[in-house]
Every structure is written in C-alpha cells, then in structure tokens.
Structure 1
Amino acid sequence: MTADTLSQHTLADALSVRGTGIHTGATATVRLRPAPTNFGRVFWIKGQSVPATAEYVVDTQRCTTLGNAQVRISTVEHLLSALFALEVDNVMIEVEGPELPILDGSAQPWVEAVMEAGIVPQSEPAPIFNLYTSLRVTMGKSVAECSPAPNLRLYVEFVSEDWPEGTASAELPLGCGHVALYKERVAPARTFAFRKEVEALLAAGLARGGTLENALLIDPPHCFSSPLRVEYEWVAHKLLDLIGDLALVGARFNAHIAVHRPGHTINTKLAQAIYRTIQAPYEGDITA
C-alpha cells in the first residue's frame, strides 16, 4: 500500500428529482441524501436497501436493473454514471417508482443536480484498487477487456453493419482532474434508438416514456431527430452507460478498459469480474 490523500465524498445537501421512466412511462421521485463514510451508493426502495454493486444486477435488457428477492429498480445507469464520474462515494438513493426518471436522456441533469447540492470531502480516504491481472469477457460479438494501469481510462468502439457511417470510437480518462472532460464530452450525450427499432421496443412493452425530448432518434445514414449535442453522440452515450455500469464495481479503481460493441450485458459482466477480483484478498492491491 502507498499513501494517498484522496478523500471519500458525499453530498453537501439532499436533493430531489422527479420525472418519467423511459421504459415504463411511470412517474418516479428520486431523493439523494448524504451518507457516512464507507456507506457506498445504496438504493432504498419500499423499505429495502439495494447496494449499487455488481452482485445485485438482475436484468440488462435495454437498461441496467438492480434488485433483490423483494424489489427491483431499473435504468440506474445514468445516475450512477454521474455519481461515479463526480466521485460521490457515499449516498443514499431513495426511489419511489419502478425505474429512475429518464429526464432529458443524458446524465447532464443528474450532474447539474449533484453540483447544485454540492460535494464535500469526508474524514476517511477513498480506497483505490489497483488490478494486477488482466480480465477479458466475451459475449457474442462483444468483447470487454481490462488491463492493469496506473489510472482509469475507458475506450468504447461502436460497430454497426447496417450503418457503417455510425461506426466510431470514444475514449475518456476518469478520476481526479478529469471531471471537466466528463461534463463536456460525455454527460450531455442522450440515449438513442434507431427509427426501425421503435416499433419493436413498443411491442416489447418498452420505451413507453420515450419522446423526442428525452431520446435521440436516428434514421441512417444522416438523419437525426435533433442536432447532436456532442460529436458522435451515440458513441458518447455508450461511454456514459459504460461508466454507469462500472460504478457497480462499488469502489474507485485503476485500469485501462476497452469494450468492443458495448452494451449493458457485457458492461455489467465486466463490472462483476472486476468486483470479484477486488473482493478476493490480495488479487487486487489497494491504494489508500
């Protein structure tokens, strides 16, 4: 172990957000409250606590769903992306509703709400895990790789045979000193769908709360429902989702991560692999 001056963080004040879920169309209220050191990011639903860690993933169809035998909460990835990127380690997340509100389809409203509430350092250092073994997870054509590194850097590659013009990649460092990059390049990127997918989503009982105000609709090769907020916005949103899913590791960690054809299933499988590694004594080292 080596000395590190980074502190754990929580919110300076509570905040409340209300909106509609993109998949269920149901109204939800979310209250974020400050939490003590070593508490973690924990959801509170109908009197049940569900830690935002990889072992509580129960579904990854179109979004990430956490739960236990009694309760579930869906579409957690945008909020967790913002909390992880802003290094909010400890927070109680109280939810009334079946899924988190989609807001404008990006993480930006969550970032703004958290920044308005304020982030404060706490009395104990934040453990930072350094992995000393490479991990590789595959699922169909998707591949996720994690390799040892002195910092956290993420890379995603979006590939579409039906839309070759949309094939692109994005990269982002995370951690101390890189919050501004996340706010500028990633947080504004909205969830997206291809026009031909929308009918299938509705038939599957999904996207009941989807509108042109909370999603980017793509009609290849060059038609978008609204101007892009960032370059290759659809790829930036894949990076946003990856960050939210990696928040399920439940701790800060250093690694270089590359995901080819990212999605919630491959993302969370990688998060589960990293989670298991850092839970095993001395398979990962800790900087604290």
Structure 2
Amino acid sequence: MANRTVMVWIVAIVCFVVLMFVTPTIPQDQEYHDFADQREFFGIPNALNVISNVPFFIIGVIGLILCYYKNFFKLSLRGELCGWTFFYIGVAAVGFGSSYYHLEPNDARLVWDRLPMTIAFTSIVAIFIIERIDERKGTYSIIPLLLVGAVSILYWRFFDDLRPYALVQFVPCIAIPAMAIMLPPMYTHSSYWLWAAGFYLLAKLEEATDDTIYKWTNHIVSGHTLKHLCAAMVPVFLTLMLAKRDTVTERISLLQVWKISWTKYKRDGVETESRTITYSTVPTDE
C-alpha cells in the first residue's frame, strides 16, 4: 500500500512538471465570457445561466445538513466528515459564485466561480485517498489539496496562466473514475462514482458546444445552461450514494466485480448452448 501511495504522488508530480515546463502558457481567452444565451428575464441579465446555478446551492445545503444530522451518512473514517463538509461547502458556494459571475461575466468575477469548484474537486480527491488508499494520509491531505486549488486560482489571476487550474480540474476527472474502478471500495454502491463522472464529462461537452446547442434548440436553452444542470447531478449522485451505502464485508474492486460477472456470463452462455433442444413436428394444412 505504501508503494502504491508513493507511485500515485510520483505520477502526480510528473504530470505537473510536464504541464508546467513542456506545455505553453494557457492565457484566459476573453471570448470565454461571450456566452450564447444572454437573454434577460425578470430584470436578471443572462438569466438562465444565472438561475441554473440554484441546484448547486440546494444540494450543497442538503448534503451539509445530512453530514451532521444524526450521522445520516454513517461516516466512520477519520477525516471523512471533514472531507465531505468541504465538498458540500464548495458545491453550495458554486451556486453563489457562478451566479455572481454570470450576472456580469469577466475575469474578476470568474475567480468566484472557479474557487468553489476547486474546493469541491480537491476535497473529493482527499476523500478518495481516505477511503481507498490510506485513511491517515488522506486526512492529512485535505488542507494541502485545498491550498493547491486556491493557489491554482491565484496563479491564473496574477500570471494569466491556466495550466495549474487545468491540472486541478481535469486530473480528478481521470483519476477518480480510474480509482473507482481499480481500487476496492470499503462501501457499497461504488458505481455511483462512475455515474457522477459521466454527468460531469457530459457537462463539459455541453459547455464546449454552448452555441451549437443554443441553435439546435431554436434558442430555447444553451449548452452552458445545460452544463450547469448536468454538473449539479454530480453532487446529487454522490449524495444518493452516501445515503444508500453500507460498509462492505469483503472489499472487491469494480474491475474484479466486472470480471467475475463476465466470467459467469460466458459460463452460463456455454451451459445454455450445451442444453438439449427437442423439436416437434408442426402439422401444416395441405
């Protein structure tokens, strides 16, 4: 386990070095602020992009309450409560920060959109370390990871370089589904992590096709608005997972479960094919 932890950190450091010293500087494209849907409703500029952030606040507050209400989520490991608390604080803050940004999109306001997201991203990584790699190291990693997220935002603002922020945002998109599949969980309903990752990837696709979706829907809804709604499904699925899960008696990774299921499927298929089938003559009218 110790060797695995060391390898994870080595890979993370190598990825950071490659990003910072091999790739060119990534400045903030000012066209990013030019969203397809800029309609005003009820006196709210960019109304749908603003209002579609409300689900983040709702699920963030619900999750935060359930973290402390009679231990509803049955959090048993040291650091779990802290990790999930920061996650739900980040999610709820996205509701405010992203709404504030979309009222008047610019770089200064974008800070308050991205900062809560880094809190959610980095706390999730810490939670995964606690659950699946090492409880003690994961607990101690919460604050350093949160600081890494904050520094990535400051680095972008002071040096107009998105590389550290890109690392903070996109590495979890790869690492979390990979760890969810490869590392054995201590709780049931581990597949909810994959549902959450799937919705986040869909959200990023919708963000990239903002204008295209707006045209496809005959200017009813834009890709960025749908991006907010799909991204809000991430904490929804994770909250459902927390509410439904139990501690497993035997820790088996999803990859092992899939292999066992596939082996059983193939075996059953062979047995089905080997069964004797009898035919009866069906009379026909002449």
Q: TM-score, normalised by structure 2?
A: 0.29
Larger Rg: 2
Task: Give the alignment's TM-score, normalised by structure 1.
Answer: 0.28
Structure showing greater relative contact order (alpha-carbon pairs closer than 8 Å, 6 or more residues apart): 1
Greater helix share, structure number? 2
1 or 2, which has the higher strand percentage? Answer: 1
